[in-house]
Chain A
Amino acid sequence: MNEQFARRVQKLMKINMKCEVPPEIISRLVNDSIGLDNRITGKSDKEVIDILILKDDQHDSKSIGLMYHILTSADNLELYQRIIRFINGGGVEYWHNVLCNMNMILFECWPHIHLACREQLVRLIREAIRQNVKQIENVLMNAYRVANGCFDNVSKQRIFAKLAAIIRENDAWFKSQKAAAALVGNIITCTTSVISYTPAPITASDTFRESMTDFVCWVIRNRKMDCLTLGRDFMLVLIRLGRLPQVEEIWKDILMNPASYGVASTEDYWGKNHYLQHVRISIELERKIMFMVHNGGKNLLIYFSWFSNKYFRGNDGPALRAECVRHLLYMTMDPAKVPPAAFENRIQLLHLIVSTAPPGPEQQWLKLCLFADWFGCDDRNPTNFNYVELPLNVVRYALFLSPSTPHPNSIVQGSHCSQFANSLLEYVCKSVDVLQPSSAEYIRRNVNNAMRYCRDRLQHNLAQILENSKIDRKVSELLRVVFPDFVRNPNGNPLIRPAKKKEDQPAAPITKPRASSSDEKPSTSSATPPVAIDRPSSSNTDRLGEKEKKEKEDKEDKDLKSMVKLLRGEIGVKMEALRAQWKDLDDDADKCETIEALLQHMLNTEENFDEAQQDLAAQCLQTIMGTVVTPEQSLLPEKEKDLSEAFTHPVYSFMKILCSPPDNDDNSREMLTTMMASMREKDSSLTYVLLYFIKGTYGTSANKVISCYRDIAKISGRGVDEMLATDLQLCAVNDNRLFGYLFIFSFVQFEKEVMESPMLMATLCANLDAAQLRKFLSEIIREEIKLFRKDTFSKMLMESVEWSTAAQWIFWHLVHADGVPVEWFLSCVPRMDSKIHDEAISNMLLMLKRMDREPWPGLIRSIFQRLPQKDDKFPIDALKVLIEDSDQCGKIAEIVSSLLKTLISQNDILGVGIKSTKKGQQYKLTVQQVIEHLQHFSATCVEKKNKNTEAFLGKHVMQEAFASIRANEKSNLLVKKYSNLFGAMDIIAQEHKEHSSSRTLRGNRQGSAGDKPSSSQQSKRKGGDMDDDSNSKKRKVHSPIIELSDSDSD
């Protein structure tokens, strides 16, 4: 690499040649410029022009070399003008070459080159516009596109200001452009994006934001008709610009004079897509997003962290996020060309972009960008439906995402998962009325259209989202109001069907409280919420529904035909025959026979029936057979003895062959499993139906065939526990009776997975009702089911604290029923938060109270391991519970004393909440931490009726332990700091001494005393002694010391 090359590269970009190779296109620019210079040095202008226009094999190379000189001639006006003369000398055709090169530089070099070089390119654009070069508007559009990439604020502002100035000074050219809708769209969206993050001016000279706002408004006013190209993104632009006077003028103009914009009202904008979304973000961003979508996979989070570090950290981060969201929603993805994971990657990426944005207005804006297509999902424009499924998939993704430890290389922290899903749904529901109040009804209709489309696409999976247990009650209520046809009422009964009942009860909309009187005047209906207003049109809705159903059927039929055509050979012919005759087949038995025959043919075929063909065949079969699940009818017959007649649907024929393939052939089994996995992708209810079929058909010998369920999970790329949890959750939502029939069976068959999977346990606990719980407990008691295992219990317990209270109570019922011993949760004791884990803490205390074995050092250690806090009563209560029994009290005292002595001998004396280096321990236990707990304990529990605390603290071993603390030099500090506890120990010791001596005296006097006076006797005796002057004197001294103040320990 010679010096000249390096010098020229440095003129174009900042680069350390020792550790970086210049981008290929930069090298080409430099090499071609050197080549050109060799040819034109010393030649006259005319000769140079002749060389340039000569169409030899160096033609492209010469024009690229020329671009180098344009880019680097910022300080050399003479050179620049000379090159312009060369270009002009080349004529229109040569200008065309130059425009191509300009586009190439915009696409490939823009992010790398110096600001001065970029400005030179803008200067050339200006020159081209001045000379009215044909198609320069395309270059200008690309310039806007790349200028909206990632740079520092100053550079970005300078480029935008220059581009705006070019258009302003050539306003006649701009206004006369006939086909410039894309240019206008890009100018409006890109400039608005820049305005949105430009901070408010601090000085009077800072007029950038103001001038850009004026410029956008000027563009809109001069190219009104072109704004329609932007569709609903034009509404987003106006909303984004905010309530500026200039923008308000435009709003008024649209409302007063919509015809001049080519629309009847703003609703026409909402109902239209912006088809040029893909040209609004820079090439650099577009390529990286495309790469992440195609190749992200398990590294998507890492790629995204790099991406967001580079693009989203600056002031323009939120604006770029919004651009990326819109771009991703409209990204064209051909299923035949992109990898299957790309669709899920896109959803994950959208989720990451929105959920990692700073909360507040910026995140709200991203939510609007995400759901804008829902608000404009006008069914008059069928293409609107292409963009509505993705936002709901983002909700689904967030809902089923379990919080995980962030990757060490990643800046992305654990997202809020279900809370985020809740916030998205809440946003949609609340926006309906406030986004554009004058069009609230229109928007409400549109979001319902969008939801209807999603229901048709997702089928039963929609209920899995909208009625998920992770959806907050508040959000569920909102959903019920906005989407009354899609969300069931709270008690889980079938979907609300307003049409029939409404005639009888016109004045009782579901949103009204029950208290509303039946004699309400009809006039009140006008004041009812929009949902109620919507209701009278339900017959229209039904008609619309029928129409849509027919449209859907037609579409499915069309899709099916095209899929069948893709099937090769005889299978394709047979499938086509099956499709054609399906509707003519009279009953299920005939259908089953036909399906079985086709499957037999598939299994025996010698044609090339590869995985892709199997996938296709599975999808065709599934579409032909239809779904076995119906929304309002349970699959389970009323009487269990009718089960033998329940499996008549053709789907069961498939399942029958899947479970027992002919000749028990592994290849056949594998093929059918692959097909089933493929069918499940479309209808996820199929696998719980398979469980039902296995249980219903095979009964007690189900364990012989259950492996096919595991195989399906494996092929689908899921864990068995994950698939089972999803299936049971879906079953609970779709068919609660069937859930009751299946869950015990599932838990027996998948015992190992159940013991390891908190997700499965969460599904169970969230869905069991009282009768099912009783049935389940009975199974546990009869030792049919074992739920918990020692090594996985603590993990499950720590997960359970995040569940709803009801689910947690059910979990603890199961824990008690399963006979989980206290030892299993000891490692969790220090990690429980006293403020939020109430359910777990109270159950732990109950278990300690019912504990039927002697306390042991590990138990006491784990209690003291908790970080001492004033408002944390768990250690106090736990100790109190443990010393209730007088025998046990002595044992506890021994353990505590021995613990204190051990800690002293280990020199673990001072400090509270010191991080432990030992694996599995959060904090290192010290004498001070134990003393602090004991101080809280003694301050709270002395002078109670049973005097257990005094008895505990007065034990000889406890006194010894405190004496050894006093004796240790290092722990002297503790004696001072916890002087009240040490004082109390002294007094208790003295009292015990006196009591024992008086007891001895009394015993001597009475001759024979009882062996062990009970505590009640003791207290009575003490009560009797209250009159004793000396005792009352002591008590007076005692009281102020015993009533410890916690402030000491702070």
Chain B
Amino acid sequence: MSNDIPLNQLQPNMNSFNVTAIVLDQGSYRRTQSGSIITMKVADATGSINASLMNPEFTETFRPGDILKFRGAYTSIFQSGLTLSLGKNGECKKIGEFMMIFSETPDISQMPLPAGVTDRRADRHSPSGNRYQRQ
């Protein structure tokens, strides 16, 4: 676990890092046009963050209190908040349960993004950059 990154040190556009976190809110599994996604809220001792697993090989969600190890994770911006994401090259496995110290605050997904960081997803939807931008 020594190479795990604490959640509060996550920054936008980080790639291929490992995180160990505990599930606070099991979230949901849902199908999308491009595949499937599991979303949940996880935390470690430094804060909490929304996490999403893209196209997981399983359909069941984790339970609150499960301790998860994320390998090869990356950060993305979703709904103007930082999100911990895992793609097809990453791995997320339950390694234990319950016995992990965590802190719900700060909620990293709710924190304001650093200046200059935008929601790429929003950019994609709007041909002229941010769709909420005044013309």
Chain A residues packing against B (C-beta within 8 Å)? 16, 18-21, 23, 287-288, 291, 295, 299, 302-303, 306-307, 309-310, 409
B102 contacts A299, C-beta separation under 8 Å: yes
Bound Cα distance A677, B131 (Å): 56
Q: B58 contacts which of A19, A288, A303 (Cβ < 8 Å)?
A: A19
- Counting chain B CB atoms within 10 Å of each CB, which of A19, A20, A21, A302 scores highest? A19
**What is the interface of chain B mostly: helix, strand, loop, or mixed?**
loop
- Chain A residues within 8 Å of B64, by CB: 306, 309, 409
Q: B24 contacts which of A20, A295, A302 (Cβ < 8 Å)?
A: A302
- Chain A residues within 8 Å of B103, by CB: 299
With both chains docked as a complex, state the minimum distance between the C-beta of B69 and any C-beta of chain A, in angstroms.
7
A409 contacts B60, C-beta separation under 8 Å: no
A307-B24 in contact given A18-B58, A19-B92, A21-B69 (Cβ < 8 Å): no
A20 contacts B93, C-beta separation under 8 Å: yes
With both chains docked as a complex, state the minimum distance between the C-beta of B50 and any C-beta of chain A, in angstroms.
14
- Chain A residues within 8 Å of B93, by CB: 19-21
Bound Cα distance A309, B63 (Å): 11
A16-B60 in contact given A21-B69, A302-B24, A306-B65 (Cβ < 8 Å): yes
With both chains docked as a complex, state the minimum distance between the C-beta of B65 and any C-beta of chain A, in angstroms.
4
In B74-114, the 8 Å CB interface with A consists of 92-96, 98-99, 101-104
**What is the interface of chain A mostly: helix, strand, loop, or mixed?**
helix
In B115-135, the 8 Å CB interface with A consists of none
In B31-63, the 8 Å CB interface with A consists of 56-58, 60, 62
B95 contacts A21, C-beta separation under 8 Å: yes
- Counting chain A CB atoms within 10 Å of each CB, which of B57, B99, B104 scores highest? B99
With both chains docked as a complex, state the minimum distance between the C-beta of A846 and any C-beta of chain B, in angstroms.
44
B99 contacts A287, C-beta separation under 8 Å: yes
With both chains docked as a complex, state the minimum distance between the C-beta of A27 and any C-beta of chain B, in angstroms.
12
Bound Cα distance A21, B71 (Å): 13
Q: Told that A299-B101, A306-B64, A307-B98 touch, could you supply 18 new A-B pairs with CB distance under 8 A?
A: A16-B58, A16-B60, A19-B60, A19-B92, A19-B93, A19-B94, A20-B93, A20-B94, A21-B94, A21-B95, A287-B99, A288-B98, A288-B99, A291-B99, A299-B103, A302-B24, A303-B98, A309-B64
A409 contacts B92, C-beta separation under 8 Å: no
Bound Cα distance A473, B40 (Å): 49
- Chain A residues within 8 Å of B58, by CB: 16, 18-19
- Chain B residues within 8 Å of A409, by CB: 24-25, 64
- Counting chain B CB atoms within 10 Å of each CB, which of A288, A295, A303, A306 scores highest? A306
- Chain B residues within 8 Å of A310, by CB: 65
- Chain B residues within 8 Å of A23, by CB: 96
A306-B57 in contact given A21-B69, A409-B64 (Cβ < 8 Å): no
B92's nearest neighbour on chain A, judged by CB, is A19
- Chain A residues within 8 Å of B101, by CB: 295, 299
Chain B residues packing against A (C-beta within 8 Å)? 24-25, 56-58, 60, 62, 64-65, 69, 92-96, 98-99, 101-104
6 nearest A-B residue pairs (beta carbon): A306-B65, A20-B94, A19-B58, A18-B57, A291-B99, A21-B93
Bound Cα distance A291, B99 (Å): 7
With both chains docked as a complex, state the minimum distance between the C-beta of A311 and any C-beta of chain B, in angstroms.
11
- Chain B residues within 8 Å of A18, by CB: 57-58
Bound Cα distance A851, B119 (Å): 55
With both chains docked as a complex, state the minimum distance between the C-beta of A960 and any C-beta of chain B, in angstroms.
44
With both chains docked as a complex, state the minimum distance between the C-beta of A408 and any C-beta of chain B, in angstroms.
8
With both chains docked as a complex, state the minimum distance between the C-beta of A717 and any C-beta of chain B, in angstroms.
17
- Chain B residues within 8 Å of A287, by CB: 99
B101's nearest neighbour on chain A, judged by CB, is A295
A299-B104 in contact given A21-B69, A21-B95, A409-B24 (Cβ < 8 Å): yes
A19 contacts B102, C-beta separation under 8 Å: no
A19 contacts B98, C-beta separation under 8 Å: no
With both chains docked as a complex, state the minimum distance between the C-beta of B68 and any C-beta of chain A, in angstroms.
9
Bound Cα distance A302, B62 (Å): 16
B62's nearest neighbour on chain A, judged by CB, is A19
B26's nearest neighbour on chain A, judged by CB, is A409
With both chains docked as a complex, state the minimum distance between the C-beta of A428 and any C-beta of chain B, in angstroms.
33
- Chain B residues within 8 Å of A309, by CB: 64
With both chains docked as a complex, state the minimum distance between the C-beta of B5 and any C-beta of chain A, in angstroms.
19
A19 contacts B25, C-beta separation under 8 Å: no
A410's nearest neighbour on chain B, judged by CB, is B64
A15's nearest neighbour on chain B, judged by CB, is B94
Q: 28 A–B contact pairs at CB < 8 A? A: A16-B58, A16-B60, A18-B57, A18-B58, A19-B56, A19-B58, A19-B60, A19-B92, A19-B93, A20-B93, A20-B94, A21-B69, A21-B93, A23-B96, A287-B99, A291-B99, A295-B101, A299-B102, A299-B103, A299-B104, A302-B24, A302-B104, A303-B98, A306-B65, A306-B98, A310-B65, A409-B24, A409-B25
With both chains docked as a complex, state the minimum distance between the C-beta of A409 and any C-beta of chain B, in angstroms.
6
Bound Cα distance A306, B98 (Å): 8
With both chains docked as a complex, state the minimum distance between the C-beta of A445 and any C-beta of chain B, in angstroms.
43
- Chain A residues within 8 Å of B94, by CB: 19-21
With both chains docked as a complex, state the minimum distance between the C-beta of B60 and any C-beta of chain A, in angstroms.
7
- Chain A residues within 8 Å of B62, by CB: 19
Bound Cα distance A640, B1 (Å): 67
- Chain A residues within 8 Å of B98, by CB: 288, 291, 303, 306-307
With both chains docked as a complex, state the minimum distance between the C-beta of B102 and any C-beta of chain A, in angstroms.
7
With both chains docked as a complex, state the minimum distance between the C-beta of A281 and any C-beta of chain B, in angstroms.
15
Bound Cα distance A309, B65 (Å): 11
Bound Cα distance A18, B64 (Å): 18
- Counting chain A CB atoms within 10 Å of each CB, which of B57, B58, B65, B95 scores highest? B65
Bound Cα distance A21, B58 (Å): 14
- Chain B residues within 8 Å of A306, by CB: 64-65, 98
- Chain A residues within 8 Å of B69, by CB: 21
B104's nearest neighbour on chain A, judged by CB, is A299
Bound Cα distance A18, B99 (Å): 22
With both chains docked as a complex, state the minimum distance between the C-beta of A609 and any C-beta of chain B, in angstroms.
31
With both chains docked as a complex, state the minimum distance between the C-beta of A232 and any C-beta of chain B, in angstroms.
32
Bound Cα distance A530, B96 (Å): 56
With both chains docked as a complex, state the minimum distance between the C-beta of B24 and any C-beta of chain A, in angstroms.
6
Bound Cα distance A16, B62 (Å): 12
